[in-house]
Amino acid sequence: MNSISANEVKDRLEAGETLFLVDVREDYEVQHGKIPEAIHIPMGEIPSKLDVFNREMEYIFICKAGVRSENVCEYLTELGYKAINMEGGMMAWEGELD
């Protein structure tokens, strides 16, 4: 399982790198803020939204604490996608919120 720290995500964004971030928290959780560059697809909708993902691209998945996003990463990796889990989730995030 590939993973990345919240600080590394923040540093890479601040350096101007384009990252493909996917927030898999529920709607009510995202209302409290999300990383501005992230798209929101609740975990339960991932299987029906596979057409959104490109197997050639790398995606970083985010949830509240890193457990749900880790499960999503395992699922997508088994299907041949490049999925990376943001360790600690939004609880570890110290950057801006949308």
Active site residues: 63
Q: Tokens for 7, please give them.
A: 């600080």
Residue found under tokens 């101007």: 16
Q: Which amino acid is at 86?
A: M
Question: Which residues partner with 39 through β-bridges?
Answer: 22
Asked whether the beta carbons of 76 and 51 are under 8 A apart, the reply is no
